[in-house]
Amino acid sequence: MRLQTLKQNIMKRMIKISAILALMFATTSSMANNPKISLAPGTDSKSIIVKLDEQVKKSTLRLTDADNNSIFFEDISENRYAKKFNLTNLENGTYFFAVKNSLQSVIFTLKVQDTEVKIVDREENNEKPVFRKVGDKIYLNFMNQEEANVDIVIVDNQNRVVFSETSKGDFLVQKAFNFQSAVKGRYIVSVKSGKNTYYKSIVIG
């Protein structure tokens, strides 16, 4: 009986070890297939180079300005991808370059100034909205990974609605709010996606 019990315990351990090794192999394989997305300044003035290595799923590339106007869009299905973008025709300002596929999503924030382009930020797989305050302007970036409707509401310090808008199923929600003519004080920006609601307090003046 003891010998049989010992054999059973050894067999259970071997099965457990095999399962762990299989899980480790599956995890390693998944990590190996994860595409590498990179964005770097080009050698020419006001240019950037986009690279996607070991592509396993179709990706989309989108370049937008601070007001969410689409400047460039492309579907990519090649295994490897590299492309240089000449931005000499863009006016000075903030732009967003987004790359999305089924495994990951990345947003690069670009700053175009005179004869150069700077990559000032990179956000990857971010589930919460990102706010940036530049002077009296507020920039909103939100990766709507579930592609649900997104409700954006801004209220003043007396709880009066000063802005309300619904984005219907957009993966990348980008907004720019200009408070230059607004009354000084505190404002609350709410972003609702599905069951989640995010809040941001903004002080103007």
pLDDT tens-digit map of 136-166: 888 888 878 778 899 999 999 888 999 999 9
Q: Is 194 left (phi over 0), alpha (psi -120 to 50) or beta?
A: left
Cβ-in-10-Å burial (0-12, 13-18, 19+) of 191 comes to buried
Task: State mean pLDDT over 74-84.
Answer: 83
- Within this chain, do residues 47 and 81 fall inside the same structural domain, yes or no? yes
Which residue, 102, 125, 148, sits at the end of a domain? 125
Average pLDDT of the chain is: 78
* Chain-centroid distance, C-alpha 50: 16
CA pair distance 123, 108, nearest whole angstrom: 7
- SS3 state of residue 14: helix
Looking at residue 135, its pLDDT comes to 84
Looking at residue 43, its pLDDT comes to 80
CA pair distance 89, 77, nearest whole angstrom: 28
- Within this chain, do residues 27 and 41 fall inside the same structural domain, yes or no? no
CA pair distance 100, 143, nearest whole angstrom: 10
* Cβ atoms 162, 187 nearer than 8 A: yes
Which residue, 108, 125, 142, sits at the end of a domain? 125
Looking at residue 21, its pLDDT comes to 33
- Within this chain, do residues 150 and 179 fall inside the same structural domain, yes or no? yes
Question: What would the DSSP string read from start to end of 120-167?
Answer: EEEEES--S-EEEEETTEEEEEEE-TT---EEEEEE-TT--EEEEEEE
- Within this chain, do residues 118 and 141 fall inside the same structural domain, yes or no? no
The sign of the CA dihedral 48, 65, 148, 121 is positive
- SS3 state of residue 72: strand
- Within this chain, do residues 104 and 51 fall inside the same structural domain, yes or no? yes
pLDDT confidence tier of residue 30, bands split at 50, 70 and 90: very low
Residue 50 above 70 pLDDT?
yes
- Within this chain, do residues 43 and 91 fall inside the same structural domain, yes or no? yes
* Chain-centroid distance, C-alpha 185: 30
Domain containing 190: what range?
A: 127-205
| Residue 30: partners with Cβ closer than 8 Å, 6 or more residues away | none
Which residue, 58, 91, 125, sits at the end of a domain? 125
Note the pLDDT tens digit of each residue in 87-127.
888 999 999 988 887 667 788 999 998 888 888 888 876 56
| Region of poorest pLDDT, from 3-12, 47-56, 182-191 | 3-12
- Within this chain, do residues 28 and 41 fall inside the same structural domain, yes or no? no
90 DSSP 8-state letter: S
- Within this chain, do residues 117 and 143 fall inside the same structural domain, yes or no? no
User: Which CATH number fits the domain that encloses residue 156?
Assistant: 2.60.40.3080
Looking at residue 33, its pLDDT comes to 42
Domains: count for the chain: 3
- Within this chain, do residues 183 and 194 fall inside the same structural domain, yes or no? yes
Looking at residue 67, its pLDDT comes to 83
Task: State mean pLDDT over 58-73.
Answer: 87
- Within this chain, do residues 97 and 111 fall inside the same structural domain, yes or no? yes
- Within this chain, do residues 48 and 121 fall inside the same structural domain, yes or no? yes
- Within this chain, do residues 61 and 111 fall inside the same structural domain, yes or no? yes
